[in-house]
Structure 1
Amino acid sequence: MDGVDATPLVPGQTKLVAPKTRRGRRFLEARAPKAIEDAKRCLFLYGNQTSQVIKDVITDLYQLKRLEAARFSRKNENVRPFEPGGETSLEFYCNRNNCPMFVMGSHSKKRPHNLVIGRMFDFHLYDALELGVEEFKAIKDFGAAGTGAQMGNKPLIIFMGEKFESVPALALAKSLLLDLFRGEQVDKINLAGIDRVIMAVALDDARLQLRQYSIRFKKSGTRIPRVALTEMGPTMGLSVRRYRLPPSDMVAEAMKVARTGKKKQKNVSSDNLDGKVGRIYMPKQNMDTLGLSKYKGTKRERRESAREASEAKKRPKTATAPTTAGGDDE
């Protein structure tokens, strides 16, 4: 990006990146933290070795997330989220493509048809879940069943089974699948725009099934249409392998909620009649020492002289004995 220094930072290093152009300023503002975050972008990539099943899984998941996703087509040998130091390259790729989520596919003799779903916080690995693909049926195998679903519409996500609440691995799977398919957070939604259903079923503590159905509204003879579900794919049977939970300090940092609304003012309230009502506490003021502009007649010297004159008039006069010029009478 022009005008922005995109050099990755060393962990523990603080660096202030200042934009040099207007395009760079807009780029940094788009990546800045927000009270309501945008839809989470997802990075789809491959590990050291892959299989045709994993390639088909990545292709179908990318097709469902195409509007908020980036995809790598080459193999990445150094990406190992569950090994110490193996997340460095992954964090760099997610930072470069502005993707706080990732889906990685790999294949080995020990872990065949391996699928890893994870999230980032501040572009550091937050949590990850490793799944094994045991059954898979691609979207193209269902023919024209999925043509009614439009790209960008929000799906209805259903989780069946109490295991999603009690088993830590499946609870993590539920959280990751919600972030992966939810898209942008909205307050209201048009029910007529819901054209597909994603269903996750917990079979036991370590297995789940993932299905997707298209919604068709058909005539029912009343104002309320009849809802018909048609499987559109992809269909996957998944088994839980390894999972990585976030550290407690990172959880406390990630769960902080930004303050919304105006700051509460002291001694200020509002009602329906008077509107904004406030209470003011005024200390006792001395008008003599208050620094205000005074008129000529209100100056301190004139007030003091007038006060002394009025006090002098109010004082009683003392009586004196009369005297004669000839002295005392005989």
Structure 2
Amino acid sequence: MLQVKTPKKGRVRRALEKRAPKLVENGKKTLILHGTKTSGVLNAVLTEIYNIKKGSAVKFSRKNENIKPFESGGETSLEFFSQRTDCSIFVYGSHSKKRPDNLVIGRTYDHHIYDLVEVGVENFKRMESFAYDKNLAPRIGSKPMIAFVGEGFENVEELKHLKEVLLDLLRGEVVENLNIAGLDHVYVCTSISSNRVFLSHCGLRLKKSGTAVPRMELVEVGPSMDLIVRRNRLPSDSLRKEAMKTAREQPKKKLKNVSGDSIQGKIGKIYIPDQKIGEMALPNKAKGIKRERREAKLKDQDNGHASKKQKENRA
């Protein structure tokens, strides 16, 4: 028999409830790791990614020898770190003679490897190398726009997969409504060839256009780099089908006698039972009853109905 341990402290219980499966999941966090050997360019790339994702990223500074995502058994440590940090996206950097300045971007499902994309970094430029007005610098936590330019993202399978991974990595938290004033930066991904993508980061400058929609200008603020697709691993059909499952929303309970109107809004009908005032228990010495009796006598006199004593006197 397996013993199930329940948390005794409220802090632990709240942490487990936060990580439990939900109908609407939380925003995805990114885990950034170093391999056994890295270069100066690769360290700068990982630092820039962490600065872009600050607030929703966890960065490990130590070197990890046991992580080999594309080899069987080499993803155990990676899955352990993903579960400990509650991160569903990871960026792993390594450097070797065969694959210089190598980045592995992957996603996890239930803290197990879902898919992988391996890219090489070339022509990297840091954010400090660009001259621009500092007011155009993106704010932490702001929602970016992402533009994919080129037919390769529609025709080449490797670039299609890279597009999905980059969307999850860069888009941030999913929102339904967005204020246009909060849009301050955009990522532009351009497919140069079947295996090369140019990634640039631009700031938005809003100018008057004479209409309600302002005119936008792009100013490159960095970082920028060329990504060369090397290897990728797609999820199996069964795993993809399981990961794409969504819980059915429970149907809303129909409210009786309630209707909606575009002008008046929510309209409801209230049914009140008949008030049987005649059967109500009233005290015998009620002043209102005595008053009603006197009024009834006066009314009878006016109508010509005389009392018995008056009739005897007349006789």
Please state which band the TM-score falls in when normalised by the shorter chain.
0.7 to 0.9
Are positions 1:229 and 2:187 aligned together? no
| Amino acid paired to 1:135 | N
1:87 Cα shift?
Answer: 0.4
Structural mapping, 1:134-283, within 5 Å:
134-145=122-133, 147-148=135-136, 149-220=138-209, 224-262=213-251, 272=259
1:224 Cα shift?
Answer: 4.4
| Structure 1: runs of 5+ lacking an equivalent | 1-13, 277-330
Classify the secondary structure of the residue corresponding to 1:157.
strand
1:264 Cα shift?
Answer: 7.9
For 1:174 and 1:28, locate their aligned partners in 2 and report how far apart those are by CA, in whole Å.
Answer: 32
1:205 Cα shift?
Answer: 1.5
Q: How many residues align?
A: 261
Instruction: Choose 1 or 2 for highest CA Rg.
Output: 1
Are positions 1:36 and 2:34 aligned together? no
For 2:184 and 2:139, locate their aligned partners in 1 and report how far apart those are by CA, in whole Å.
Answer: 7
Structure 1 counterpart of 2:112: 124
8 Å contact 1:145–1:214 — kept in the other structure?
no
After superposition, the C-alpha distances for 1:243-288 in whole angstroms (9 at most, x for unaligned) are 01112221111010111242689xx999849989xxxxxxxxxxxx
For 1:125 and 1:142, locate their aligned partners in 2 and report how far apart those are by CA, in whole Å.
Answer: 36
For 2:67 and 2:144, locate their aligned partners in 1 and report how far apart those are by CA, in whole Å.
Answer: 31
Residues 221, 168 of structure 1: CA spacing in aligned structure 2 closer, same or farther, 3 A cutoff?
A: closer
Q: TM-score, normalised by structure 2?
A: 0.77
After superposition, the C-alpha distances for 1:13-43 in whole angstroms (9 at most, x for unaligned) are x885522210011000110111111110000
Residues 239, 33 of structure 1: CA spacing in aligned structure 2 closer, same or farther, 3 A cutoff?
A: same
Q: TM-score, normalised by structure 1?
A: 0.74
Residues 44, 140 of structure 1: CA spacing in aligned structure 2 closer, same or farther, 3 A cutoff?
A: same
For 2:122 and 2:222, locate their aligned partners in 1 and report how far apart those are by CA, in whole Å.
Answer: 15
1:44 Cα shift?
Answer: 0.4
Partner of residue 77 from structure 2, selected from 41, 66, 89: 89
8 Å contact 2:132–2:219 — kept in the other structure?
no
| Amino acid paired to 2:162 | A
For 2:36 and 2:193, locate their aligned partners in 1 and report how far apart those are by CA, in whole Å.
Answer: 30
| Amino acid paired to 1:203 | I
Residues 150, 15 of structure 1: CA spacing in aligned structure 2 closer, same or farther, 3 A cutoff?
A: farther
Matched residues, percent identical? 49
After superposition, the C-alpha distances for 1:178-227 in whole angstroms (9 at most, x for unaligned) are 11111111111111100001011111211111011100113446654332
| Amino acid paired to 2:92 | M
For 2:154 and 2:62, locate their aligned partners in 1 and report how far apart those are by CA, in whole Å.
Answer: 37
* RMSD across aligned positions (CA): 2.3
| Amino acid paired to 1:110 | K
For 1:244 and 1:270, locate their aligned partners in 2 and report how far apart those are by CA, in whole Å.
Answer: 56
For 1:181 and 1:145, locate their aligned partners in 2 and report how far apart those are by CA, in whole Å.
Answer: 23
8 Å contact 1:163–1:202 — kept in the other structure?
yes
More displaced stretch, 44-53 vs 138-147: 138-147
For 2:16 and 2:109, locate their aligned partners in 1 and report how far apart those are by CA, in whole Å.
Answer: 17
